[in-house]
Amino acid sequence: MPNNKTVRDYIRTIPDFPREGIMFRDVTTLFSDPRGFRICIDQLLSPYAGMRIDKVVGLEARGFILGGAVAHQLSVGFVPIRKKGKLPGKTIEQAYQLEYGDAVMEVHDDAILPGEKILVVDDLLATGGTAEAGVKLIERMGGEVVSAAFVVDLPDLGGRKRLADMGIDTHWLCDFEGG
């Protein structure tokens, strides 16, 4: 019997996490299923077939899982953008706002070379604050963001528009209305 599940079917929703009123879209159930994970990576890659991409940037932390797999399939390097204090070498940093607080992201100062074409990958696009911080870091290093790819978009929270206003093309596999 064929499996007609979509990526969205593999994602569970956990109500009231990390705080009351939040509907948390949990992609770990997608990652743990080999078929679901393969479908996800194949669909994340699809729009970029034949496009020049020099490196994939994964945003902390689930973006590391996805970004590493995407970079492997594209045969390009992978660069993690992490929370402040997690990278051992010399870094540059960017402050940003989360849905429920502020944070700082960092990248090694030699991870991206001027003119490199970069694909940004993460699990979820909500308000766009994390993605915007990542894009700003890449651009400060002289990299060119060719696109940003996400498993889930939460359109009601405005992240897609925020990235579009920055001139960033986005690709997502599924969306959930109402956050």
pLDDT digits (tens, 9 = 90+) for 72-116: 999 999 999 999 999 999 999 999 987 667 899 999 999 999 999
Is residue 140 among the annotated active site residues?
no
What is the β-pairing status of strands 12-15 and 117-125?
unpaired
Find the catalytic residue in 60, 99, 139, 144: 99
In this predicted structure, what is the pLDDT of residue 142? 98
Contact in structure between 132 and 163 (CB atoms under 8 Å): yes
Question: Which position has the higher pLDDT, 175 or 178?
Answer: 175
Query: What's the average model confidence in pLDDT over 8-16?
Result: 97
In this predicted structure, what is the pLDDT of residue 100? 66
Is residue 62 among the annotated active site residues?
yes
Kindly list the structural domains of the chain, giving each domain's residue range(s) and its CATH number in brackets, ordered by start.
Answer: 51-175 (3.40.50.2020)
Indicate whether 179 pLDDT > 70: no
Contact in structure between 102 and 116 (CB atoms under 8 Å): no
Find the catalytic residue in 25, 62, 82, 162: 62
Query: What's the average model confidence in pLDDT over 21-32?
Result: 95
Q: What are phi and psi of 175, to 5 degrees?
A: -130, 160
Query: What's the average model confidence in pLDDT over 24-40?
Result: 97
In this predicted structure, what is the pLDDT of residue 116? 98
Nearest to 135 by CA among 75, 52, 72, 59: 59
Q: Tokens 């009231």 label which residue? A: 16
Q: Is the pTM of this model over 0.85?
A: yes
